[in-house]
Amino acid sequence: MSVLVVYESMFGNTKAVAEAVADGLRDALAQRGDGIELTLQEVTDAPESVPDDVTLVVLGAPTHAFSMSRASTREDALKKAQTTDAARRTTGVREWIAAALLPPRTTVVTFDTKIMKPLTGSAAKSATKALHGRGFLDVERGESFGVADTPGPLLDGELERARAWGAALVARV
Ligand SMILES: Cc1cc2nc3c(=O)[nH]c(=O)nc-3n(C[C@H](O)[C@H](O)[C@H](O)COP(=O)(O)O)c2cc1C
């Protein structure tokens, strides 16, 4: 069995949360001592065909325009971040979900980063809906983690919360 943590990130905030979630979960798995491996991958490198031994996918995305990113919002973000990464422009969590092939008994838990104000939407909520739309039933909307503004930084305490949330996901493996 193994765990896959996949994230999309333009300014590095969702990446930092994904790393903290992965650290917490990896430590919790090591304490349990059953040899389950964890892999952390940016969505542009993640396999669309998820290997058969993966029983949990943790999927994180930045909230763009109330939802998951699209090519147009990524273009905007890449300009603001002053980077020109062609893979990041074409592939985000939305595109990964549209193409993903998951083993039958794989659980997916989503998370996002967002501005923690009313009516700002949630990529985790949209990703959960899109996965259900693809026919994947064992999908849970996980946590949202707050950024102060579009480029960040993460709000105080969010990395610690992400690590603790990751550790608690051990119950899903
Ligand atoms: C084009 C664009 C649209 C955004 N729209 C929203 C939004 O609707 N709601 C929200 O909470 N945050 C929104 N944000 C802020 C992002 O959620 C924030 O940039 C992201 O969490 C940072 O994550 P990253 O560093 O991993 O890219 C938007 C950001 C960009 C670049």
Q: pLDDT tens for residues 20-55?
A: 999 999 999 999 998 999 999 999 999 999 999 999
pLDDT for 143: 98
CATH number (domain holding residue 17): 3.40.50.360
Atom of ligand 1 at shortest distance to CA of 12?
25
What's the structural domain count of the chain?
A: 1
Domain that holds residue 17: 2-172
pLDDT for 84: 75
Contact 124, 111 (CB under 8 A): yes
Digit-coded pLDDT (tens) for 133-157: 999 999 999 999 999 999 999 999 9
Contact 41, 87 (CB under 8 A): no
Atom of ligand 1 at shortest distance to CA of 63?
17
pLDDT class for 81, splitting at 50, 70, 90?
Answer: confident
Q: What is the mean pLDDT of residues 108-120?
A: 96
The rounded Å distance from CA 24 to ligand 1 centre is: 24
Look up the pTM and report it.
0.97
